[in-house]
Chain A
């Protein structure tokens, strides 16, 4: 079955420290992978995507993600966390659906950055 998993419900990091939010996936064919962020009472906002090419993808707000094919992972990272990074983060993958395709989302990871 095609799926995406975020093993951590919550990640707590001190401001200024590096952060990692984990994601693993299972899809047929080549994966299209995405990260989105959701602030309270808002819709999801696109951060970055991997389709092909360099395994390290850079995105908005200083975030980056590393695609690892052998581990089927796409972890989100940032070298130095800000309090304003506190939000809910979703990993997503393109999955095949009959003759179309769809984006399916992981369960979300709440990132909390303490001052």
Chain B
């Protein structure tokens, strides 16, 4: 049983399109995150939700909209995709904020 699962694993799309990435965790954690890893492997936090409430929103374009329907799910919707959005997006979860993170396998987004 995968602890943190993300879909899709790979996503190739054209500029200007809208896409979503889904994340689910079965660990019973109360906090979930989206991180972005660029081509140089830098890993940067984008959003964090605690019990469905947004608690961290970094300087991310408002084309990115997270949604947490319940504390086991955190989805990421991206509007009007740009070339610079190409990256690997990681979902993670933890019990309590800023504790040990359990990561998903990542979703590689390529914008053409």
Contacts and interface: CB of A to CB of B under 8 A. Distances in A.
22 contacts: A41-B105, A41-B106, A43-B4, A43-B92, A43-B104, A43-B105, A43-B106, A44-B90, A44-B101, A49-B100, A88-B41, A90-B43, A97-B56, A99-B55, A100-B50, A100-B55, A100-B56, A100-B98, A103-B98, A105-B42, A107-B41, A108-B42
Contact of B90 (A43, A46, A108): A43
Interface residues of chain B: helix, strand, loop or mixed (majority): strand
Contacts of B104: 43
Interface residues of A, number: 25
Interface of A: 32, 34, 36, 38, 41-46, 49, 88, 90, 94-95, 97, 99-105, 107-108
B97 A101 contact: yes
